[in-house]
Amino acid sequence: MNHPLDRPIWTALTTRQTGFAQEAGGIRRYHPAFGVFAASAEGTPESFRDLAALVPIGGRAHEAGAFY
Protein backbone atom coordinates (compact mmCIF):
# COMPACT_ATOMS: atom_id res chain seq x y z
CA MET A 1 0.00 0.00 0.00
CA ASN A 2 1.33 3.35 -0.97
CA HIS A 3 -1.32 5.70 0.33
CA PRO A 4 -3.45 5.68 3.51
CA LEU A 5 -6.62 5.98 1.41
CA ASP A 6 -5.80 2.71 -0.32
CA ARG A 7 -7.17 1.11 2.88
CA PRO A 8 -9.31 3.77 4.56
CA ILE A 9 -10.94 1.56 7.20
CA TRP A 10 -7.61 0.09 8.33
CA THR A 11 -6.03 3.54 8.33
CA ALA A 12 -8.85 5.04 10.37
CA LEU A 13 -8.89 2.22 12.92
CA THR A 14 -5.12 2.28 13.41
CA THR A 15 -4.69 6.06 13.58
CA ARG A 16 -7.20 8.78 14.50
CA GLN A 17 -10.14 6.50 15.29
CA THR A 18 -8.45 3.90 17.47
CA GLY A 19 -10.79 4.85 20.30
CA PHE A 20 -13.70 3.40 18.29
CA ALA A 21 -11.89 0.14 17.50
CA GLN A 22 -12.10 -3.38 18.81
CA GLU A 23 -9.01 -5.47 18.20
CA ALA A 24 -8.10 -9.14 18.01
CA GLY A 25 -4.82 -10.28 16.53
CA GLY A 26 -4.37 -8.60 13.15
CA ILE A 27 -7.97 -7.42 12.86
CA ARG A 28 -9.63 -4.15 13.78
CA ARG A 29 -13.32 -3.38 13.64
CA TYR A 30 -15.47 -0.50 14.73
CA HIS A 31 -17.29 -1.05 17.98
CA PRO A 32 -20.80 -2.21 16.98
CA ALA A 33 -22.30 0.99 18.42
CA PHE A 34 -20.41 2.97 15.74
CA GLY A 35 -20.43 0.79 12.64
CA VAL A 36 -20.04 -2.61 11.04
CA PHE A 37 -16.76 -2.08 9.17
CA ALA A 38 -13.67 -4.19 9.76
CA ALA A 39 -10.19 -4.43 8.25
CA SER A 40 -7.17 -6.67 8.54
CA ALA A 41 -3.44 -6.00 8.65
CA GLU A 42 -2.93 -8.99 6.36
CA GLY A 43 -5.55 -11.01 4.52
CA THR A 44 -4.68 -14.31 6.18
CA PRO A 45 -6.94 -17.16 7.35
CA GLU A 46 -5.93 -16.21 10.90
CA SER A 47 -7.38 -12.75 10.32
CA PHE A 48 -10.76 -14.27 9.53
CA ARG A 49 -10.60 -16.29 12.74
CA ASP A 50 -9.73 -13.12 14.64
CA LEU A 51 -12.72 -11.40 13.06
CA ALA A 52 -14.99 -14.28 14.06
CA ALA A 53 -13.78 -13.85 17.65
CA LEU A 54 -14.89 -10.20 17.62
CA VAL A 55 -18.34 -10.76 16.12
CA PRO A 56 -20.88 -12.36 18.43
CA ILE A 57 -23.38 -14.90 17.15
CA GLY A 58 -26.00 -12.93 15.29
CA GLY A 59 -23.65 -9.93 15.03
CA ARG A 60 -22.52 -8.25 11.83
CA ALA A 61 -19.26 -7.08 10.36
CA HIS A 62 -18.48 -5.88 6.86
CA GLU A 63 -15.05 -5.64 5.38
CA ALA A 64 -14.79 -2.62 3.14
CA GLY A 65 -13.08 -3.45 -0.11
CA ALA A 66 -10.11 -5.75 0.15
CA PHE A 67 -9.77 -7.43 3.51
CA TYR A 68 -5.99 -7.16 3.43
pLDDT tens sequence across 1-46: 578 888 899 999 999 999 999 999 989 999 999 999 999 888 788 8
Whether residue 55 is contained in a domain is answered as: yes
**Domain residues for 19?**
4-63
Whether 17 maps to a domain, the answer reads yes
Task: Supply the DSSP symbol for 43.
Answer: -
pTM here is 0.81
Q: Work out the percent of the chain whose per-residue pLDDT is above 70.
A: 91
Q: 46 in a domain, yes or no?
A: yes
Percentage of residues of the chain with pLDDT beyond 90: 44
68: in domain: no
pLDDT in tens, 50-68: 988 998 888 888 876 554 4
Contact criterion met (CB below 8 Å) for 39 and 10: yes
41 belongs to a structural domain: yes
